[in-house]
Structure 1
Amino acid sequence: MELIWLEDFVALAETGNFSRAAENRHVTQPAFSRRVRALEDWVGAPLFDRATPGVTLTAAGQQFRTGADELIRRIIQLRRESREAGGQEAATLRFAATHALSFTFFPQWMRELEGGASLGPIRLISDSMQACEELMMHGEAQFLLCHHHTAAPSRFGAQFRSAVVGQDALAPFTAPGADGGPRWSLSDTAEEIPYLAYSDESGLGRIVEAQRFIDRMPGLRTVFSARLAASLATMAREGRGVAWLPVSLVESEVASGRLVRAGGVDLEVPVDIRVFRPTARQSPAAEAFWSELAAH
């Protein structure tokens, strides 16, 4: 059994489509299909029902799915820990953080936690929520810092736990008009309003999508999408439409009058800032950090 077979299995289970899964795995579909079949031969049972319109898991596949993610993560983590044994890398804290928080929250958070005493070497990878989840699932990061809302879907199940480390909010912002008020107002339901949306990779997009603003406001028309809140903030500042943005990210633009709220507090979405970690025990340095976080 090979690790890539497990990763192929997860990709196909998530997409339900051989072509998309093969594309995500950067391999031709025939080669991908052969690897999936090799895994099924190793297990000794079919894992996917190919007769349905979309590829679905069999009963054996559902059982295998329960441990596949954790097995991948543990294998990669074991390999990394073995390589790092006895070296300085073993003391390095590896964080993944979504783009917005890596700029606005992470530096200050580290200063507060250190309190005059260094936490040791730190490695930060800043990316989309989807990419950060992959890093965590594969054991490439020990901690993930992200915005979180209970209504938004997450890939993290019982094998992960989290702690709230801050608060933020998502609110609709737009450029000011000639009178200083919002150029596009969500209170004007008769007007068609250009909407600046998050792409599928974005965790903030999941949170906004869960609020179903587009269903509630039929006048919203998507004209632009991007995975970064900073990109949407720039487009909103240029007068291209309305975007739901983290309040912490646009404080300076709001203070200078370059962005104004496009709606009232009823359209604001309170969110937690959470740090996630695997439930399984990690390196001594990572566990020491978690203890420090709990004490703080």
Structure 2
Amino acid sequence: MKTLKEHSLEFLEYCEIEKGLSQLTIRNYAFYLQRFLDYLKENNKEDLTPEKLSAKNIWDFRVYLSRYQNPVLKKGLKRNSQSYFLIALRVLLKYLARNDIKTLSADKIELPKKEARQIKFLSEDQVDKILNAPKADNISGLRDKAILETLFSTGLRVAELIALNTDQINFSSREIGVVGKGNKPRVVFLSDNAVMALQRYLNKRKDKEKALFVNYRGKIPEAGERRLSTRSVERLIKKYVLQAGIPISATPHTMRHSFATDLLMQGADLRSVQELLGHSNIATTQIYTHVTNKQLKDVHQAFHSGNKR
């Protein structure tokens, strides 16, 4: 019989070919499952088959995750991080069950109680400082300004941002059609400032690259892709946060949080923000209740008769 390792490889191929999942999602599944396979190997169980997998094996792995210490950082795994490994295992077991391979039920894997998620976002003043930090006297500065304005105007994930091509932008309708997580298409919208920044950047460009945001550092290849990487966008965000003197360790996702927070503070409803962010489930968008709760408190303070006596 095939081992769990062999079935895991087939599962990853299934995710790519049949499910059409993104390479990032597949890499994540591979990483989380490999940790479980490494754990089995360390405990002389690398030949474990799906049929022999028991609830005790899963429990012991949960104990292992709970006690795991990163050898470099000397830190353990947060509960939410532990959940990712168990979720990957559950998905693998569901795949096996669908293929009539006898194994432990996925329902037997319980997830740790989630930690309250803390949302990091920027105030309106802090956003203004970051957006105005790039110097628009060269092509790199114009590109960085366009990136920052686009992130704050659209709430795009960094992977969605760097995947953009120049022909995706419709300046007349001020829209961009993107394909997000799970190959889910949606439309995002450009503010006046974002349109202006993008036009100034594109007007300055002389290359024929299809990528919207390209790399201008180091040796520029004569031909081939010059698309900006995720890491490059992360670095430029940190750079302008420091330049703006903002005491927050911000990331591209901080801009996404700031986009959603800004909309809600201006009166947008949670369902509309869900659509703009590309969340499949409204529960994901409810992490922004720090804003809606404040609005409800203000409504209560302004209109409840008990506050007017």
TM over 0.5: no
Higher RCO (C-alpha 8 Å, min separation 6): 1
What's the TM-score, normalizing by structure 1?
A: 0.30
What's the TM-score, normalizing by structure 2?
A: 0.29
More strand by share: 1
The higher radius of gyration belongs to 2
